[in-house]
């Protein structure tokens, strides 16, 4: 079973536009992470936000976390064709090391 | 700095056979986790190894087993293959620093097809 659920399942935008995707989870967490995956290859870590943080930025990425609603959002600003990928949220609870992934949001950025 | 390397990248097996997948963690990392990713799904946690011991296990049958060697590399073995075992198998490494709550570094995966 998967802890996180991303919304929407797919997103199509044009270069320069912003892309927003959301993640909801079920149980309490230690931290939440976002990963990117290009065409069925390995996952690349984007950003980690801890349960006591509400917002975090990294370059064109902005992540928010609302633990009361058990939800997170990932915003990619000024998107580029190279941002075309699947994006996954993953949570860690209080246990040691296991990451639980959602089903992902497929983002397509057209020039 | 070598990242996570996995082998083989692709392989085809038939039902009932056995398969071994290999992983070398990123330099300096001591913890290896394995994930199974079916087509169109998110990765599912199989198990995690640290100090040559299985530390955590996901909801996978005993047909899935693993090993970690003294040099921190790891193997994933799957016995009695089923069609449903067809997936991308991802290895991820990290540093076990009093809780291992940080980011994971993934390899490119081994694509297993079971016919």
- Condensed to tens digits (0 to 9), the pLDDT of residues B97-107 reads 755 568 899 99
Contacts with B101 from chain A: Cβ below 8 Å: 30-31, 92, 97
Q: Are the CB atoms for B70 and B97 separated by under 8 Å?
A: no
- In the predicted model, what is the mean pLDDT of residues A79-99? 88
HSE-CB for A49 with a 13 A CA cutoff: 25
- In the predicted model, what is the mean pLDDT of residues B55-63? 94
HSE-CB for A5 with a 13 A CA cutoff: 6
A72 Cα distance to chain centroid: 8
DSSP B84: G
| Residue-level pLDDT at A86 | 97
Contacts with A88 from chain B: Cβ below 8 Å: 42-43
Which helix or strand (DSSP H or E) is residue A90 part of?
Answer: strand A85-92
Tokens 């083989």: give the residue: B8
Q: Are the CB atoms for A74 and A10 separated by under 8 Å?
A: no
Residues A9-63 have pLDDT tens digits of 999 999 999 999 999 999 888 899 999 999 878 999 999 999 999 999 999 999 9
CA distance, residue B107 to nearest chain A CA (Å)? 5
Residue of A nearest to B43 (CA): A101
The percent of residues in chain A predicted with pLDDT above 70, rounded, is 95
| Residue-level pLDDT at A66 | 97
Contacts with A98 from chain B: Cβ below 8 Å: 33, 45, 48, 56, 58
Q: Are A103 and B31 a contacting pair at CB < 8 A? A: no
């Amino acid at each position: 079973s998967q802890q996180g659920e991303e919304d929407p399942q797919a997103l199509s935008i044009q270069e320069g536009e912003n892309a927003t995707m959301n993640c909801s989870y079920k149980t309490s967490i230690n931290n939440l992470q976002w990963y990117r995956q290009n065409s069925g290859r390995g996952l690349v870590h984007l950003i980690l936000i801890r349960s006591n943080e509400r917002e975090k930025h990294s370059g064109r990425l902005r992540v928010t976390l609302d633990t009361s609603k058990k939800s997170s959002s990932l915003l990619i600003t000024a998107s580029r064709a190279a941002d075309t990928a699947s994006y996954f949220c993953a949570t860690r609870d209080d246990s040691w090391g296991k990451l639980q992934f959602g089903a992902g949001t497929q983002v397509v950025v057209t020039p | 700095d070598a990242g996570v390397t996995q082998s083989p990248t692709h392989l085809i097996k038939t039902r009932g056979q056995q398969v071994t997948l290999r992983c070398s963690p990123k330099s300096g990392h001591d913890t290896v986790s394995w994930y199974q990713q079916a087509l169109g799904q998110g990765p599912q946690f199989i198990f995690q190894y640290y100090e040559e011991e299985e530390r955590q296990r996901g909801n996978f049958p005993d047909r899935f087993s693993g090993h970690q060697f003294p040099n921190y590399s790891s193997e994933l073995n799957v016995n009695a293959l089923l069609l449903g075992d067809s997936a991308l198998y991802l290895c991820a490494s990290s540093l076990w620093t009093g809780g291992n709550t940080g980011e994971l570094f993934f390899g490119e995966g081994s694509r297993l097809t079971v016919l």
